[in-house]
Chains A and B, each alone.
Chain A
Amino acid sequence: MSTARDLAHTLQKRVWDGSIPLEIRLASADCRSFDDSDPYLIQFPRLSYLAFLIPRLHAFLSRFLIDPDVSPTECWLEYQGVPLKWHYPLGLLYDLYSGSEPAYPSGGTGRRDEAADEQDSLPWKLTVHFTEMPMDQLFKLDVDGKVLHDAFINSVKEADFLRNGTAKTVMSLSKEDSTQLWEGVKQFRPSIYNPINQKLLNPQGSNLRHLPIKLYLPHASSSIKDSTPTPGSLRVVQTPITPALSSRQPQTVGTALNQILPTLFPSRRSPLLAQAVLHGAILPLSTPIEDLTRVGAYLDGWLHIVIVMMG
Chain B
Amino acid sequence: MQISSFPSISSTEFEEACYQLENKFANKKHLQNDWLSVNVVQNHDTKYLRITRVLANKKSQKSDPWEKCESESLEEEEEEEPDPEEFEEDDAEALRHRPSDTDEAVLEYDIILSPSYQVPVLYFSIKDPLFRYPLTTETLYEYIIPEHFRRQISDVGVIGGITLTVSSLSILEAVLEVLDALLKKCSKYSLCFRLEECV
> Which A positions have Cβ atoms within 8 angstroms of B?
87, 135, 139-140, 142, 147, 150-151, 153-155, 157-158, 161-162, 166-167, 170-171, 173, 175, 178, 212, 220, 222-224, 235, 238-240
In the complex, the chain A residue whose C-beta lies closest to that of B199 is A167
Q: Give the most central of A154, A212, A223: most B CB within 10 Å.
A: A154
> Nearest chain A CB to B43's CB is how many angstroms away?
6
Contact B164 A135 (CB under 8 A): no
What are 19 contact pairs spanning A and B, CB under 8 A?
A135-B131, A135-B135, A139-B135, A140-B136, A147-B164, A150-B159, A150-B163, A151-B163, A154-B159, A154-B166, A154-B168, A158-B117, A161-B117, A222-B44, A223-B44, A224-B41, A224-B43, A240-B115, A240-B116
B43 is contacted by which of A135, A142, A150, A223 (Cβ under 8 Å)? A223
> Nearest chain A CB to B1's CB is how many angstroms away?
23
- In the complex, which residues 160-176 of chain B have their Cβ closer than 8 Å to any Cβ of chain A? 160, 163-166, 168
> Nearest chain A CB to B33's CB is how many angstroms away?
26
Contact A161 B199 (CB under 8 A): yes
In the complex, the chain B residue whose C-beta lies closest to that of A221 is B44
Query: Which residues does chain A contribute within 8 Å of B115, judged by CB atoms?
Result: 238-240
Contact with A along B122-146 (1 / 0, CB 8 A): 0000000001001111000000000
Contact B163 A220 (CB under 8 A): no
Contact A170 B164 (CB under 8 A): no
Q: Give the most central of B41, B116, B166, B199: most A CB within 10 Å.
A: B116
Query: Which residues does chain A contribute within 8 Å of B164, judged by CB atoms?
Result: 139, 147, 150-151
In the complex, the chain B residue whose C-beta lies closest to that of A222 is B43
* A220→B46 CA distance, assembly (Å): 14
Query: Which residues does chain A contribute within 8 Å of B158, judged by CB atoms?
Result: 153, 170-171, 173, 175, 178
Query: Which residues does chain A contribute within 8 Å of B137, judged by CB atoms?
Result: 142, 147
Q: A158 and B116 in contact (CB under 8 A), knowing A135-B135, A140-B136?
A: yes
Please give the number of chain B residues whose Cβ is less than 8 angstroms from any Cβ of chain A in the complex.
24
Query: Which residues does chain A contribute within 8 Å of B43, judged by CB atoms?
Result: 222-224
B42 at interface, CB cutoff 8 A: yes
Contact B165 A87 (CB under 8 A): yes
* A220→B44 CA distance, assembly (Å): 10
> Nearest chain B CB to A166's CB is how many angstroms away?
8
B157 at interface, CB cutoff 8 A: yes
Query: Which residues does chain A contribute within 8 Å of B160, judged by CB atoms?
Result: 150
Query: Which residues does chain A contribute within 8 Å of B118, judged by CB atoms?
Result: 240
In the complex, the chain B residue whose C-beta lies closest to that of A154 is B163
* A311→B118 CA distance, assembly (Å): 36
> Nearest chain B CB to A221's CB is how many angstroms away?
9
CB-CB nearest 5 A-B residue pairs: A238-B115, A154-B163, A151-B165, A150-B163, A158-B116
* A161→B42 CA distance, assembly (Å): 26
Contact B134 A140 (CB under 8 A): yes
In the complex, the chain A residue whose C-beta lies closest to that of B44 is A223
Query: Which residues does chain A contribute within 8 Å of B134, judged by CB atoms?
Result: 135, 140
Query: Which residues does chain A contribute within 8 Å of B41, judged by CB atoms?
Result: 224
Q: A158 and B166 in contact (CB under 8 A), knowing A135-B131, A139-B135, A140-B136?
A: yes
In the complex, the chain A residue whose C-beta lies closest to that of B136 is A140
> Nearest chain A CB to B93's CB is how many angstroms away?
15
* A238→B131 CA distance, assembly (Å): 32
Contact with A along B22-54 (1 / 0, CB 8 A): 000000000000000000011110000000000
A161 is contacted by which of B116, B136, B157, B159 (Cβ under 8 Å)? B116
Contact B163 A235 (CB under 8 A): no
> Nearest chain A CB to B22's CB is how many angstroms away?
16
* A151→B165 CA distance, assembly (Å): 6
> Nearest chain A CB to B199's CB is how many angstroms away?
6
Q: A147-B137, A240-B118 are in contact. List 10 more A-B contacts (CB 8 A).
A: A135-B131, A150-B160, A150-B165, A151-B165, A153-B158, A154-B163, A220-B44, A222-B44, A223-B44, A235-B44
Query: Which residues does chain A contribute within 8 Å of B166, judged by CB atoms?
Result: 154, 158
B42 is contacted by which of A139, A157, A167, A223 (Cβ under 8 Å)? A223
* A135→B134 CA distance, assembly (Å): 7
